[in-house]
């Protein structure tokens, strides 16, 4: 294969994988494999500049900043569309169309109305040559260099001259990741995906645009012969390689329009991108020509908007809720406001850091957002409307549910109730964890049964489980005599446990199975662990300041100490542990991710631990090896980012023989 053909094959392969990832959302290769292909193409083009071309995938990385944008005059104006907000307006629109055309029923093309930035793309001889924003509808800004960095924009198509119009937007998940990076860098967050996408497209430095995961969806084909309907034009765009909304449809009459509106509204919150309505267009293009335009909008189209997802209201109060894991969440009590199709009276403030960052106070006027079934949140504060002398909100020092001490560690954004075994808000979670397979292993004590035991007031702490009689259990729903007797037997069996299982069952924050085992081996019994200082805890292998502090906070809470005493009174017992001698060979830290074919992850973990090595649940700079099986996830990505050695299953099995 000569060099020119090799370069062309690489380009086709990379663009195919771009489409699979950014358009079809069905990647076939890993990021590392894609990066290898891309680097190979970059190297070949660097060595042979004569082979570079404008439609090469390497031209998507962005170039030197521009001084300003040039103006582009649209050959066909990019007009706005009239809006409708209720059923009557939609029916009136359909009636106008039927009367103007003199027909009984009209076929419409219907599609979601993207909440992004409208742009126009021009192709000459099949090559992408220009991109422009909508601007004022007549004149826009040239953003060609920026749109080249958007991977879902084809850099070349079949040998045709086309103008394609569409929307640049940002997926919700990419928007959330962007704001997470902004927060980590101490920079201002973006309000919504539309603002983030619009800001990225209008960057003078296209390298910044390239760093944002923007998407393009085509919604119009200008000056294309051979298509008679708008839906055919969209199909043609899809054939040419442009991403087109999969949720589009063809409907008939007003009833079809309203049914489509309801159907898209039902899935709106689950779409990967934000929409603020749906768009209806008379499907036949010759009928569109006959209907024409009024003012600056087409007569043949209508945007049917959904209820606003953001509204302004007043903060009447701030309360603190305690979650199943003990996390304290501040919640704004709001003056009722209709937003996102429902009346909203509460909105989450997430945690103290977010509350302070947004500076929300009682009496403030705030912007509230709601999308579908998502919990409403406060987006921003209108500080210019704040009453004089409004104080900062102070977090409680005691849990508002159980009165246990509230703690907040430096490494966390949230406050937590320290009464994990006692707090009613955490009760169900604590019981399920206590009874789990890797803890006390009480078979038959599942979620439905725990719900009944707590809701009926029969169980308040894990110690209460051992006071339950077969008669009490038999009276519960779906509990027969035999099931009740079996569960009592399970309670009795669980009284004989091991120290490491008991420590894990207590549900101490940051103490997993491995740490529980290390604590058991180091202290030998529960009493010395309960009384250990942070300094003593730090002597345990791999117990750092965060874990030591969590353990100390747990045992210092009187409510937890009382539950432990009650467990001992109920008959729980365990053999003391003789501390193991440290292995002569250095201890290595492993993290397992994905599915192994030769053994389960539990078997791999047990084998490593039997050889004296550590198996952690998360990847850190201290991790020596990450074992990657099939379908490995975020742990593998983090290992790559931190430069941790990654072992495929074959390499891992070979290493096991020598450990």
Count CB atoms within 10 A of the CB of residue 169: 26
DSSP H or E stretch at residue 560: helix 558-569
H-type alpha helices, 130-228: 144-148, 172-184, 193-201, 206-211
Beta bridge partners of 18: none
Helices 253-267 and 87-101, axial angle in degrees (round to 10) = 140
Q: How many CA atoms lie within 13 A of 122 on its CB side?
A: 15
Stated length of the chain: 659
How far is it, in rounded angstroms, from Cα 568 to Cα 462? 11
Find, among 590, 588, 614, 443, the residue nearest to 517 by Cα: 614
Residues 6+ apart with CB under 8 A from 354: 413
Given 6, 9, 95, 113, the catalytic residue: 113
Residue 581 DSSP code:
P
Residues 6+ apart with CB under 8 A from 479: 449, 473, 487
How far is it, in rounded angstroms, from Cα 137 to Cα 296? 9
- Residue tagged 């689950």 (tokens): 270
Measured CA to CA in angstroms, residue 64 lies from 53, 68, 146, 204, 540 at distances of: 18, 12, 11, 9, 53
Residues 6+ apart with CB under 8 A from 266: none
Find, among 30, 54, 57, the residue nearest to 41 by Cα: 57
DSSP string covering 99-127, please?
HHHT-S--EEEEEEEESSEEEEEEEETTE
How far is it, in rounded angstroms, from Cα 606 to Cα 586? 18
520, 532 contact by CB (below 8 A): no
456 catalytic residue (yes or no): no
204, 65 contact by CB (below 8 A): yes
Count CB atoms within 10 A of the CB of residue 575: 11
Beta bridge partners of 217: 167
How far is it, in rounded angstroms, from Cα 478 to Cα 418? 34
Class of residue 484 by CB neighbours under 10 A (exposed 0-12, middle 13-18, buried 19+): buried
Which structure tokens are listed for 603? 């078997």
Measured CA to CA in angstroms, residue 640 lies from 26, 38, 619 at distances of: 22, 18, 10
Measured CA to CA in angstroms, residue 437 lies from 445, 496, 536, 568, 591 at distances of: 10, 14, 30, 20, 21
342, 370 contact by CB (below 8 A): yes
Class of residue 237 by CB neighbours under 10 A (exposed 0-12, middle 13-18, buried 19+): buried
DSSP H or E stretch at residue 628: strand 625-628
Tell me which residues are annotated as active site.
113
């Amino acid at each position: 294969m000569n060099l020119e053909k090799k370069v062309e094959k690489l380009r086709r392969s990379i663009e195919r994988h771009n489409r699979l990832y950014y358009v079809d959302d069905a990647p076939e290769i890993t990021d590392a494999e894609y990066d290898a292909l891309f680097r190979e193409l970059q190297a070949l083009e660097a060595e042979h500049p004569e082979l570079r071309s404008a439609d090469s995938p390497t031209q998507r990385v962005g170039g030197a900043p521009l001084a300003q944008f040039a103006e582009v005059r649209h050959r066909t104006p990019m007009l706005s569309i009239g809006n409708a907000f209720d059923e009557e307006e939609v029916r009136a629109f359909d009636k106008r169309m039927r009367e103007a055309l003199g027909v009984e029923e009209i076929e419409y093309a219907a599609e979601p109305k993207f909440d992004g930035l409208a742009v126009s793309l021009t192709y000459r001889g099949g090559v992408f040559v220009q991109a422009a924003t909508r601007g004022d509808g007549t004149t826009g800004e040239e953003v060609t260099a920026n749109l080249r960095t958007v991977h879902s924009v084809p850099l070349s198509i079949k040998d045709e001259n086309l103008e394609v119009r569409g929307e640049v937007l940002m997926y919700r998940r990419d928007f959330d990741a962007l704001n997470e990076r902004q927060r980590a860098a101490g920079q201002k967050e973006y309000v919504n995906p539309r603002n983030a996408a619009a800001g990225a497209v209008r960057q003078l430095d296209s390298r910044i645009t390239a760093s944002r995961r923007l998407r393009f969806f085509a919604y119009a084909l200008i000056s294309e012969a051979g298509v008679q309907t708008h839906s055919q034009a969209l199909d043609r765009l899809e054939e040419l390689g442009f991403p087109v909304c999969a949720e589009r449809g063809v409907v008939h009459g007003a009833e079809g329009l309203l049914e489509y509106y309801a159907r898209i509204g039902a899935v709106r919150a689950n779409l990967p991108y934000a929409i603020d309505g749906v768009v209806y267009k008379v499907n036949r293009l010759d009928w569109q020509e006959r209907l024409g335009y009024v003012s600056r909008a087409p007569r043949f189209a209508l945007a049917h908007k959904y209820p606003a997802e953001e509204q302004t209201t007043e903060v009447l109060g701030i309360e603190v809720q305690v979650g199943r894991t003990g996390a304290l969440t501040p919640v704004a009590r709001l003056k009722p406001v209709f937003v996102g199709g429902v009346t909203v009276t509460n909105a989450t403030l997430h945690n103290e850091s977010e509350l302070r960052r947004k500076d929300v106070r009682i009496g403030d006027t705030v912007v509230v957002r709601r999308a579908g079934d998502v919990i409403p949140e406060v987006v921003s504060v209108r500080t210019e409307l704040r009453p004089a002398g409004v104080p900062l909100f102070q977090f409680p020092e005691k849990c508002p549910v159980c009165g246990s001490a509230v703690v907040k560690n430096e490494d966390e954004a949230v406050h937590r109730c320290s009464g994990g075994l006692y707090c009613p808000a955490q009760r169900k979670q604590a019981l399920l964890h206590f009874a789990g397979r890797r803890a006390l292993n009480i078979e038959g004590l599942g979620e439905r049964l725990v719900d009944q035991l707590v809701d009926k007031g029969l169980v308040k702490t894990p110690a209460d489980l051992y006071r339950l009689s077969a008669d009490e259990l038999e009276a519960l729903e779906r509990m027969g005599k035999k099931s009740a007797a079996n569960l009592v037997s399970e309670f009795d069996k669980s009284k004989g446990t091991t120290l490491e299982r008991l420590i894990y069952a207590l549900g101490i924050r940051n103490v997993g199975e491995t740490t529980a085992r290390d604590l058991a081996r180091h202290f030998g019994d529960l009493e010395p662990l309960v009384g250990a200082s942070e300094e003593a805890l730090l002597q345990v292998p791999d117990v750092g300041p965060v874990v030591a502090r969590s353990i100390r906070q747990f045992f210092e809470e009187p409510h937890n100490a009382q539950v432990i005493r009650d467990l001992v009174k109920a008959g729980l017992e365990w053999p003391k542990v003789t501390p193991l001698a440290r292995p002569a060979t250095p201890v290595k830290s492993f993290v397992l991710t994905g599915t192994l074919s030769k053994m389960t992850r539990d078997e791999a973990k047990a084998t490593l631990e039997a050889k004296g090595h550590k198996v952690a649940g998360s990847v850190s700079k201290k991790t020596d090896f990450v074992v990657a099986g099939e379908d490995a996830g975020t742990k593998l990505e983090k290992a790559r980012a931190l430069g941790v050695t990654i072992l495929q299953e074959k390499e891992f099995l070979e290493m096991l023989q020598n450990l």
